[in-house]
Amino acid sequence: MKESYRLRLFIMMALQFFIWGAWLPLIFGYLPSLKFTPAEQSWILNAFPIAAIIGMFFSNQYADRHFAAEKFLAFSHFVGGVAIMSLAWIHSFWPFFLMMLLHCLLYVPTISITNSVAFANMKDPTKEFGIVRMGGTIGWILAAWPFTFILVDWDAVKAANPQGMVNWLGTVLSSGLTGEALQAGTRWTYIVAGVASLVLAAYSLTLPHTPPKKASEGAVEKLAWLEALKLLKHPFVLVLWLVTLVDSFVHNSYFSWTGVFLGTSQEAGGVGIPGNWIMPVMSVGQVAEILTMLILGVTLKRFGWRTTMIFGILGHAARFAVYAFFPQHQAFIILVQVLHGICYAFFFATVYIFVDAYFPKDARASAQGLFNVMILGLGALLAYSICPWLMQTVFTQNEVTNFRGLFLVPMTSALAAAVALALFFHPPKMAQGEAAGAPPAH
């Protein structure tokens, strides 16, 4: 692939995931500030997994077969960008929910369409896609950093009257918003996400032309979901599928609660991170994800599928244990964010690789879809349906949240999933897979 193409595709991926990374981490604390009920919050949060499920079964294939990819990206990100940006000025439930749903229905298919654009313009995807896709992770990380200057208490900075650039910068970075001011300032996340979406809409028109696939090329995918369900007759597939549901719930519990936990004062049981540093702290996990992906292949060969996945699940348990028992130790809380990237790579990425290695070529797409429904759809749907209720109703009394009790829920869920995987996940040893370089089943 030409270097110019690689750079253009890298930028495409960076903008694609910048959009998602800009609004997701802080929405969980913002919705309660608009006086939405836990049920209303769940509807809004579930717009994304609902769109993901619809995308798996309909919109992804429809877009792939009927539109040039770059034009579909331009249209989706333009309309979706306007929708997500409008949320900065919407404060009632139904308009907020409908605009979020519109954004998600248009955004989710673009995740696979950007992959299609990348693969269509690569000579050797096995060597080139990893570099291009890393742009997405970097884009998510970059999305956090504008808010170190946006979510700042500028009145406090003005009152301090720092002299000189160094002193001014230090004062700004240490004057993050807190409390109700932080919740009100979170509206800027939708403006930043919307601007990035509009930029990507324009940028998409400069991407290499990627024509729609003919129906015959994707005919085998027409009933992919039916073929996928047939795979559950294999006990090891069923076990891994159910464990993936639990791990996805735990993974999305992290996003649901971490931002609020980090921003809550230590007197109220939180960590007391200034508002402008919450997203950068959470982005540590994405940095760790990049590093962990570099050693994933070696880890798989050394420990095998099951042990690597168990490491990934136990990482969740360890992180939530630190949240529950050491909330006053800011440095420890920040350091433990690295486990997020390890959890993602060692479980979710390993699941994708496992499916590619253990299933014949004609069943791989169905199997990947089966697990994508759990990872992006049903697991997130479960988390976003009960996490607002757990935090605001079950574990909050007199406006004080029992974070320890709250975090014990995903911690014990992760431990149970790890035990289930250890006891019941026994994939067959496949000579063909092993001959192709797949690691042995431990």
Q: What is the pLDDT of residues 151-163, one digit of tens each?
A: 999 999 999 999 8
Fold classification of 1-151+186-222 (topology level): Growth Hormone; Chain: A; (1.20.1250)
Distances in Å between the Cα of 162 and the Cα atoms of 157, 276, 291, 294 are 7, 19, 38, 43
In this prediction, residues 265-286 reach a mean pLDDT of 93
**Other C-beta atoms within 10 Å of 11: how many?**
18
The ranges assigned to domains in the chain are: 1-151+186-222, 223-425
Q: Both tokens of residue 362?
A: 């004609």
Q: pLDDT category, 59, cuts 50, 70, 90?
A: low
Q: What global pTM score does this model have? A: 0.85
Position 65 scores a pLDDT of 73
**pLDDT band at residue 266 using 50, 70 and 90 as cut-offs:** very high
Confidence of residue 420 (pLDDT cuts 50, 70, 90): very high
Higher pLDDT, 118 or 88: 88
Residue 67 has pLDDT above 90, yes or no: no
pLDDT confidence of residue 218: 46
Quickly list H helices, 55-204.
Answer: 60-66, 69-86, 93-120, 125-144, 147-150, 154-160, 165-173, 179-185, 188-204
The pLDDT score that the predictor gives to residue 440 is: 41
Of 89-103, 225-239, 249-263, 381-395, minimum mean pLDDT range: 225-239
pLDDT surpassing 70 at residue 441: no
- 369: pLDDT strictly greater than 80: no
Three-state SS string over 275-301 comes to HHHHHHHHCHHHHHHHHHHHHHHHHHH
Tens-place pLDDT, residues 161-214: 998 999 999 999 999 998 889 989 999 999 999 999 999 999 999 998 888 766
Asked whether residue 384 carries a pLDDT value surpassing 90, the answer given is: yes
Rounded to an integer, what distance in angstroms lies between the CA atom of residue 20 and that of residue 8?
19
Question: Is pLDDT above 60 for 437?
Answer: no
Q: What is the mean pLDDT of residues 13-19?
A: 96
Q: Does the fold of domain 223-425 match that of domain 1-151+186-222? A: yes
Fold classified for 223-425: Growth Hormone; Chain: A; (1.20.1250)
Q: How far apart are CA 258 and CA 270, in angstroms?
A: 10
